[in-house]
Structure 1
């Protein structure tokens, strides 16, 4: 199982001896670039994942040392190994792991220095969510020898993560990566405890509650961020929605529908953000129109849709409205429903869930929440569907607004 490797050329003492001939001669002009460039792919027999090694200082330059910049892509790591002369690691970017045989794993971050004793069996590499780059140094090269052992298995790697508690668990990572495959979290670098707690909850515990389709879940959370006025998180979820196959039209329809419920003053920045993301992803604008009404029939069609969703309650609202406020009821029919909700691009059950997501996130709209809980039920979204929605929104809107919405649910659709 153990393999004792003689040094090959310049890099053997660091990582098992790949002769990077093109990096032997480093002139002064290119020395700084050598600390930035990834260099050459490290040998697969001693590494798991994608690792790059760039030699910076070598014995050929008159030093009894090897110094290299090593870049580990996310989840990449070395095999277990040891160095007869010991090793120093200077972390210059990202987040990674270091572990000695028989000892707990240690999280290493930018600015950390890892002092590895002589002949100690160890491994090091990137964390689950982040790449990691370090400078590796071995002195007394003429006396050194590297011994390589077995790879660090996925089981051991993930166990080290879960024991550490500063990284999300494997299931949370997988669900998070489904939405944002290549995202590197800056918050994870500065606040790892918070990210571990939140991601384990939102991306494992909450997602595991039900079988809500990932496209629908992502779209509804995205809708709630408009109600919460959370522009940064909205941008995240627009990209996530596109990543999981939500159509650009569906995203735009959610944003348009937010206008009558949230107000254009609050929505305009979200329209701009959507357009920026679409342009970045080469989605041509404007999208195809999904309007289904005209100025002449918007009132009629909007009122008909209101009655389809809410039943005879709409007739009562018109009948009981004071004359000086009747125009508001007419606006609701012609504008809110006629101009917006009648549009194609989203089916009516989804639109009702989207509206409920807006209202829950807004807060202070319990009267409207109750009305739209009943509207959801009328179009086929039962109590369990609404519970699933509220559960998935909880990490993003918080407990007070979720609990208020649950009170409304229990009043309108009590548990049987």
Structure 2
């Protein structure tokens, strides 16, 4: 049983989900959901609908009773949950899509994301279902099926459900540190009054900065705002991918996981459509071409003048940094240079590269006013030392008139 359980969990992580967007909040009531996980949705759960508030779907995944592992995929529409109930033999739940909740009688509700596992002991009264604003799917595995029986109890009423799901929202600064929250909130509004950046650009450069700063809590807040403002999942993914070249995968991987959880919770199917435009044969030449279009012929000199034992780094810059990442579609060159600038000033200690990309930004049409507006936007998130270092680099490369 434990071996089978491990295989199931491993399979969930390895399966790839084809691209198709489902907007949970805008889906019409009569529509049947597409898969929000690698598992089938199945048919309307009419056999148990009297025990559910809202609509659900059921897809049995096993049929051999001799194996004694009955398993089904259950899909809930936003807000749907089952009644309080218990199992004499216990149950296992594995979240596979969207965002859901599980609650035991007398305890706080637990928020569930894909990959989360719930072990339910025999005779424990509980309920589970979707978040108010997200579709949700989980695998339900019956334990001790020869003797396991369900006892269905009363409904989870709207007040209970609202209280349970509200209780899992992270407590903000306003609740614990109201003075700091007021100071920070007021200052972030103040810096947004400087410059002519549109809201989309402000959010995109802040996302890039949050990644470089390893600011997971701020990234979650910014990402939700970005999606609400219409920034496309493809654009967000491209910010993440490009960040790997400048911040490294060790700093980016967790943010990819955060992003995937939030996108799945909003009904976005993963993986997204591929954006690569190079092959193993063309990545160096196309990367070098892009480098030269941004920085000029000095790139040729960098390749030529590099010591023999360091020429491989110049090749990597052309083939990997620019060929693999920056040639990708999804973001234009001007936006990519702003993203790079935001990452570098947020990392700190990268003044040489900051100066190079200030010139690169100027070459593709991002003038000093734009770059100063970006640095100002990032000030509340990266602090004064890095901001002042960035402005010093900016004044050196593009002196004040």
TM-score above 0.5, yes or no: yes
Partner of 1:411: 396
1:330 paired to 2:315: yes
The corresponding residue for 1:221 is 206
> Does residue 196 of the first structure (1) align with residue 196 of the second (2)?
no
| RMSD over equivalenced CA pairs, Å | 1.1
Residue pairs, 1:164-183, within 5 angstroms: none
Matches within 5 A, 1:65-80: none
TM-score normalized by the length of structure 1: 0.55
Match of 2:328? Answer: 343
User: Which residue of the partner structure matches residue 186 of structure 1?
Assistant: 172
Distance 2:310 2:350 in 1: 20
Aligned pair partner of 1:210 in 195, 198, 216: 195
Q: Which runs of 5+ in 2 are unaligned?
A: 1-168
Q: How many Å separate the matches in 2 of 1:211 and 1:193? A: 29
Q: Distance in 2 between matches of 1:212 and 1:334?
A: 32
Sort the Cα spacing of 1:252 and 1:210 in 2 relative to 1 into closer, same or farther, 3 A: same
Distance 1:364 1:196 in 2: 31
- Matched residue, 2:261: 276
Structure 1 partner of 2:354? 369
Residues 54-95 of structure 1 show CA distances to partners (whole Å, capped at 9, x for unaligned) of xxxxxxxxxxxxxxxxxxxxxxxxxxxxxxxxxxxxxxxxxx
Whole-angstrom distance in 1 between the partners of 2:170 and 2:247: 31
Structure of higher RCO (CA pairs closer than 8 Å, 6+ residues apart)? 2
CA positional deviation for 1:211: 2.6
Q: Which residue of structure 1 lines up, in the alignment, with residue 16 of structure 2?
A: none
Distance 2:348 2:205 in 1: 16
| 2:369 corresponds to 1:384 | yes
Larger radius of gyration: 1
Instruction: Report 1:36-51 matches (<5 A).
Output: none
1:59-208 to 2 correspondence within 5 Å?
186-203=172-189, 205-208=190-193
- Alignment partner, residue 125 of structure 1: none
Q: 2: distance between equivalents of 1:272 and 1:309? A: 32
Deviation at 1:185, TM superposition (A): 5.7
Equivalenced residue count is: 233
Secondary structure of the corresponding residue to residue 209 of structure 1: coil
Q: What are the superposed Cα offsets for residues 128-153 of structure 1, whole Å, 9 maximum, x if unpaired?
A: xxxxxxxxxxxxxxxxxxxxxxxxxx
TM-score (norm: length of structure 2): 0.57
Displacement after TM superposition at 1:189 (Å): 1.1
